[in-house]
Amino acid sequence: MEILAIFFSGILGTAIMTGFSHVVESVTGHKFNEAHLLNGLISNLKSINSNIGDNHYLGWIIHFAIGICMAAILYCYYVYIADDIWVWTGLFLGFILGIIGVAGWSMMISFHKDSPKINWTYFFLQLIIAHMIFGITVTWVFVRFVMPF
């Protein structure tokens, strides 16, 4: 049951987070879709001779796999460390995950010779908010379906 809850919460949290990124992308005109940007990084690698488009499945699989892994980390925190589980905790942990996400993206683009040409500062700001939404969503799933609190 727990594995299913981790999987489901990771998928749902990532989907809602990505929906938020799409809305902000539509409103601002900046490119914020994480899966599309991952595909851009993969496509621009010199070692890979491919022409991967924005909507290629590889970026989506990586994006959702990371979301499931982050949900597993939150689950472990709630089960083994936390005394209680609150939505505010999810918000805070989502913020922390957002900082980790910014660090990961920063490393990827700093080591990449031809990263997508976007405003990374705006991307990072919305990424932190998106991860806060992710944290709230995953926490809600755990409170509703898994945790005995």
> Considering only CA atoms, which of 126, 132, 148 is closest in space to residue 32?
126
Which regions of the chain does DSSP assign to beta strands (E)?
none
pLDDT value of residue 67: 97
**Residue 13: other Cβ atoms inside 10 A:** 30
Domain ranges, residue 117:
2-145
What is d(CA 143, CA 146) in angstroms, rounded to the nearest whole number? 6
3-state secondary structure of 1: coil
**Burial class of residue 17 (count of CB atoms within 10 Å of its CB; 0-12, 13-18, 19+):** buried
Q: How far is CA 40 from CA 2, 12, 99, 122, 126, in A?
A: 34, 24, 22, 17, 19
pTM for the full model?
A: 0.91
Total number of domains constituting the chain: 1
What is d(CA 149, CA 22) in angstroms, rounded to the nearest whole number? 34
pLDDT (tens digit, 0 to 9) for every residue of the chain, 149 residues total? 789 999 999 999 999 999 999 999 999 999 898 988 888 888 777 666 567 777 788 889 999 999 999 999 999 999 999 888 888 999 999 999 999 999 999 998 888 777 778 889 999 999 999 999 999 999 999 998 887 65
